[in-house]
Amino acid sequence: MTPVERLALAPPRAVEPVAGRARIRLEPEDFEVIEDLGFEAAGQGPHLLLRVRKRNANTGWVARELARSIGVRDFDVGYAGLKDRHAVTTQWFTVPARGRSGETRTPTDWAGVQGEGYEVIEAHAHNRKLPRGALAGNTFKILLRDFEGDAAMLDRRVNEIARTGVPNYFGPQRFGRELSNLRRAETGRGGQGLVWSAMRGLLFNAVLAERIQGGSWVELKVGERANLDGRNSTFVVDAVDETIHSRLAMLDIHPTGPLFGTGEGGVGGDIAALESEVLARFPEFVDPLQEARLEPARRPLRVAVRDLSLEWLEPARTARLSFRLRPGSFATAVLRELLDVENAAGHSEDEHD
């Protein structure tokens, strides 16, 4: 693998070796994702909030089907995040209560509405279109089949990860099928949206990998920005004292890495120097991002894995791994810290925003 391929597909783990290997996604039901908005429907308003269960269907396609069924523009349908196609997922959409024909639909009208690969299981009146990113997190239930390895070690590693979290790498989904988004950037055929996101994701992974190899990915340094768990807020670390150490141990705060953009990155000291040195290795991504003049941002280097459990359904052979992640983090980041997986569905097409 080239350095870029390694950072996209197989970056350094926090702990080696893994406990073994297993197969995932042999059936859509083997990979379940449940979206948590973190708020209730308003109960009134010009929109309807629909809870939809889908199987072997991607989010964009379901959104278009919902738009077609009520006769509105695709843009009029809102959803908080993308969910994987090769899975059974439950997520929320909003649709206008009134279609373009003037017909108004009530929550009752939507109960049980279904199409190829999806079914509406709840409907409520709501006051606004659901914007991207408006969710609290995602719960994953993943069946691990044909496990080969040390079952006791896997149990121990699950317990350790519950205490320490895992590296918050961008998963292969961010970089496109066969790294197509990065290939476009490397050949000078970059563009907006997905290609810029892929380049920023690769640079973030590079900084995180460097800090894992240096042993500082769960430490905070003076001059860097710390992230408040479960929020997008950060603050500059002026001193590393017992309070900082305690909050790190409690998974209340996390070190951060760059989502590269033009302008001040908001960090100083040794961390600023380390990030500059790492980013300088990838001019093929840094240069076009500078030309794009995107706003710089920070992303936590570590993600807490909440409600983590491993249930053995067949002793030392088949198990169900369940956990909850903040939005924008990848289930692959958890799986790869535990074992090597064979993904029967190939790389996921969607990210779990």
311: three-class secondary structure by DSSP: strand
Angle subtended at Cα 258 by Cα 347 and Cα 230, rounded to the nearest 5 degrees:
75
Angle subtended at Cα 81 by Cα 75 and Cα 82, rounded to the nearest 5 degrees:
90
Alpha-carbon gap, residue 208 to 8, rounded angstroms? 12
Paired residues of 111 in beta bridges: none
Report phi then psi at 252, rounded to 5.
-85, -30
Q: Residue with structure tokens 């859509």? A: 28
| Contact by Cβ (8 Å): 274, 122 | no
Q: Spell out the residues 6+ positions from residue 121 whose beta carbon is closer than 8 angstroms to its own.
A: 51, 52, 53, 90
Alpha-carbon gap, residue 84 to 89, rounded angstroms? 7
Task: Please tell me what DSSP assigns to residue 338.
Answer: H
Paired residues of 89 in beta bridges: 33, 54
Residue 353 annotated in active site: no
Task: Please tell me what DSSP assigns to residue 12.
Answer: P
Pick the catalytic residue from 30, 84, 229, 350: 84
β-bridge pairing 137-149 and 118-126 = unpaired
Report phi then psi at 309, rounded to 5.
-150, 155
Alpha-carbon gap, residue 202 to 215, rounded angstroms? 20
E strand spans, the chain: 20-24, 31-36, 47-55, 78-79, 88-96, 114-115, 118-126, 137-149, 166-167, 225-228, 234-236, 253-259, 297-300, 302-303, 306-314, 318-325, 340-343
Q: Which residues are catalytic?
A: 84
